[in-house]
Amino acid sequence: MKTIKTQVGIIGAGPAGLTLALMLQKQGIKCVIIENRSREYVENRVRAGLLEHNTVEVFEELGVADRLHQEGLVHHGCYIAYNGITQRIDFQKHTQREVTIYGQQEVVKDLIKACLDRKIEIIFEAEATEINDFMTEEPSISFTHGGENAILNCDFVAGTDGFHGLGRKTLPKESYNEFKIEYPFSWLGILAYSKPTYDELIYAFHHEGFALASMRSEKVCRLYLQVPNDEKIENWSDEQIWTELENRLGIELDKGEIFEKGITPMRSFMIDNLQAGRLFLAGDAAHIVPPTGAKGLNLAVADVRNLAKGITDFYKNGNEDALNNYTKKCVSRVWRVQDFSNFMTYLCHKQAENGSFEQLLQKSKFDYLRMSEAYQKTIAENYVGLPFEAFE
Ligand code: RFL
Ligand code: PHB
């Protein structure tokens, strides 16, 4: 059987695994990434679009932010609307920070290129099937590649393999508590060759459901509609999608060609332990947040920053304190982000009948948002991302 050896075995070439690899490589630590999909597939998987200030700084430190700075769109605020009445949240005024709009698939392309340029081995179309001996100092990952079984021996295993990955399934069940909410609605998302008719993102509550106007460039819009969980994409013609978006957003849109559409369920999920021996989880493997707060990718980067620091401290100073504190370090940020994502989700989505107690409470939150700078600041500082130091 083919056997390879490295220091850190990483499962998954998503934002978490790739960023971790680059952080470790910068410290002279060797790693190998095992990814079950092809390079083409992961580079074209459409997902997130909004990078926190923190995340951009991490990419700058890693020397992978050139294209992001050329092509990304820097936003200093966003709009939150209630049935057509709009309040701008001014990030600049409240936080002196900003966010950058840059598609996750572009991030992934940049990270993969940097990994390969720096001689980090990524084995694509290789499926990790088992994580062995992780309670010892000699763990390994069994995987299949090109129809053959193979083994990756390593000192540490990073489970950065997403929500359905092997990492969390391997973590002993008795080592963690699980928390989750399944929301009774989903997002129908589109990408279209259209010029954005809005300058910043719009989060819109509407009595027929939530809508979000985002973008990818000056020529490509990313837009979302709240739909029921059992909705089928075939039920929505392109024309219906545009009509409903204009209705809920209350603005005219440039109705270009829709070239991607899909439905995503909304859930909050987390576990409160991310480590068992030499196995560490990070990113979506450990937590999912509903996309209303735009936090999933950013949280993945915050996790691996802690993990890379812990692993570096181990190799450079023989000190395991940071590794042993890894869960604690990550989980306080995860709870903050869970709260904010849940808050934005409940704030912006239609849940209750017009005129009901719940709906009137929800309306009251928007009225308060328009009158209170403090409320706006709370949203702004969570949205742009609390600094890493806040959780040190
Ligand atoms: P990923 O990206 O899922 O990567 C995991 C990788 O592991 C591979 N894998 C395996 N490889 C080998 N062997 C196995 N057994 C394996 N099992 C799995 C998978 O193929 C995959 O390549 O997880 P990671 O790296 O933790 O990154 C997380 C982010 O992808 C995710 O949180 C974001 O996309 C969430 N998200 C958003 N996050 C933001 O920060 N800002 C946003 O604006 C934002 N918008 C969104 C979003 C997610 C969305 N969807 C589709 C869920 C909008 C949407 C609609
Ligand atoms: C996106 O551009 O895909 C996006 C932006 C903000 C969100 C979610 C998704 O809250």
Q: What is the DSSP string of 236-301?
A: --HHHHHHHHHHHHTS-----EEEEEEEEEEEEEEES--EETTEEE-GGGTEE--GGG--HHHHHH
Ligand 1: atom nearest CA of 104 is 34
Helix (H, G, I), strand (E, B), or coil: what is residue 7?
coil
What contacts 381, CB < 8 A, 6 or more positions away? 94, 95
52 lines ligand 1 (CB under 6 A): no
**For residue 75, which ligand has an atom nearest its CA?**
2
Please compute Rg for the chain using Cα positions: 21
48 lines ligand 2 (CB under 6 A): yes
What is the pairing mode between strands 140-145 and 85-90? unpaired
Ligand 2: which of 214, 224, 379 to mutate, most ligand atoms within 8 Å of CB? 214
The span from the CA of 187 to the CA of 220, in Å, is 19
122 lines ligand 2 (CB under 6 A): no
What contacts 183, CB < 8 A, 6 or more positions away? 265, 266, 267, 268, 290, 345, 349
384 lines ligand 2 (CB under 6 A): no
Q: What is the pLDDT of residues 27-80, one digit of tens each?
A: 999 999 999 999 999 999 988 889 999 999 999 999 999 999 999 999 999 999
Ligand 2 centre from 204 Cα, in Å?
Answer: 13
Ligand 2: which of 50, 105, 249 to mutate, most ligand atoms within 8 Å of CB? 50
Cβ–Cβ < 8 Å for 68, 51: yes
Ligand 2: atom nearest CA of 101 is 2
Could you give all domains of the chain from N- to C-terminal order, each with its CATH number?
2-49+103-177+272-349 (3.50.50.60), 179-267 (3.30.9.10)
- Residue 195: pLDDT band by 50, 70, 90 thresholds? very high
The answer, as to whether pTM is greater than 0.75, is: yes
Q: In this predicted structure, what is the pLDDT of residue 259?
A: 97
Q: What is the pLDDT of residues 80-119, one digit of tens each?
A: 999 989 999 999 999 999 999 999 999 999 999 999 999 9
292 lines ligand 2 (CB under 6 A): yes
Q: What is the pLDDT of residues 338-390, one digit of tens each?
A: 999 999 999 999 999 999 999 999 999 999 999 999 999 999 999 999 999 99
Ligand 1 centre from 12 Cα, in Å?
Answer: 9
Q: What is the DSSP string of 292-327?
A: GG--HHHHHHHHHHHHHHHHHHHHHH---HHHHTHH
